[in-house]
Amino acid sequence: MGDAESVRGSGFVERERVAAARATLKAETSVPTGTETVPLERADGRVLAESLSSPRNVPDFPRAAMDGYAVRAEDTFGAKARSPETLQIHEEAAGPGQATWVHTGSPVPDPADAVVKAEHSTDVGERVEISSAAAVGQNVSDVGEDLEEGQHLFDPGHRLRPSDLGLLRSVEIESVTVRERPDVAVVPTGEELVESDPQPGEAIETNGIMVSSLVERWGGRASHEPVVTDQRDALSTAIESNLDADIIVTTGGSSIGKRDLMPAVVEERGELLVHGVALKPGHPVALGTVEDTPILMLPGYPVACMVNAWQFLRPAINWVQDTTAEEPARLETTLDRKIRSEPGIRTCVRVSVEEAEEGPRAVPVQESGASILSSVALADGWIQVPESIEGYDAGEAVTVEFWEAQP
More confident residue, 12 or 122: 122
In terms of DSSP bridges, do strands 127-130 and 140-141 run parallel, antiparallel, or are they unpaired? unpaired
330-402: CATH topology: Beta-clip (2.40.340)
Predicted confidence (pLDDT) per residue in 237-276, tens digit: 999 999 999 999 999 999 988 889 999 999 999 999 999 9
Region of poorest pLDDT, from 30-34, 53-57, 227-231: 30-34
Which of 303, 282, 385 lies closest to 9, judged by CA? Answer: 282
pLDDT of res. 370: 58
Q: Which CATH superfamily is domain 63-141 in?
A: Molybdopterin biosynthesis moea protein, domain 3. (2.170.190.11)
CATH number of 3-34+180-319: 3.40.980.10
Buried b (16+ CB within 10 A) or exposed e, 350-378: bbbbeeeeeeebbbbbbbeebebbebbee
For CATH 3.40.980.10, list the domain ranges present in the chain. Answer: 3-34+180-319
pLDDT of res. 9: 41
pLDDT of res. 366: 66
For CATH 2.170.190.11, list the domain ranges present in the chain. Answer: 63-141
**Mean predicted confidence (pLDDT) in 42-57:** 96
Q: Supply the pTM of this predicted model.
A: 0.83
Whether residue 138 has pLDDT greater than 80: yes
Region of poorest pLDDT, from 7-11, 34-38, 387-391: 7-11
pLDDT of res. 1: 35
Whether residue 405 has pLDDT greater than 60: no
Phi and psi dihedrals of 157, rounded to 5?
95, -10
pLDDT of res. 94: 83
Q: Name the average pLDDT for the chain.
A: 91
pLDDT of res. 259: 87
pLDDT of res. 324: 86
More confident residue, 372 or 76: 76
**Mean predicted confidence (pLDDT) in 172-188:** 97
Region of poorest pLDDT, from 57-61, 177-181, 199-203, 208-212: 199-203
pLDDT of res. 6: 34
Sheet containing strand 247-251, strands side by side: 221-224, 183-188, 247-251, 293-298, 286-290, 271-275
pLDDT of res. 7: 37
Q: Percent of the chain having pLDDT more than 70?
A: 93
For CATH 3.90.105.10, list the domain ranges present in the chain. Answer: 35-57+151-179
Residue 371 — very low, low, confident or very high, per pLDDT cuts 50/70/90?
low
Predicted confidence (pLDDT) per residue in 78-118, tens digit: 999 999 999 999 988 889 999 999 999 999 999 999 999 99
**Mean predicted confidence (pLDDT) in 339-352:** 92
Whether residue 160 has pLDDT greater than 60: yes
Architecture of the 35-57+151-179 domain: Alpha-Beta Complex (3.90)
pLDDT of res. 148: 95
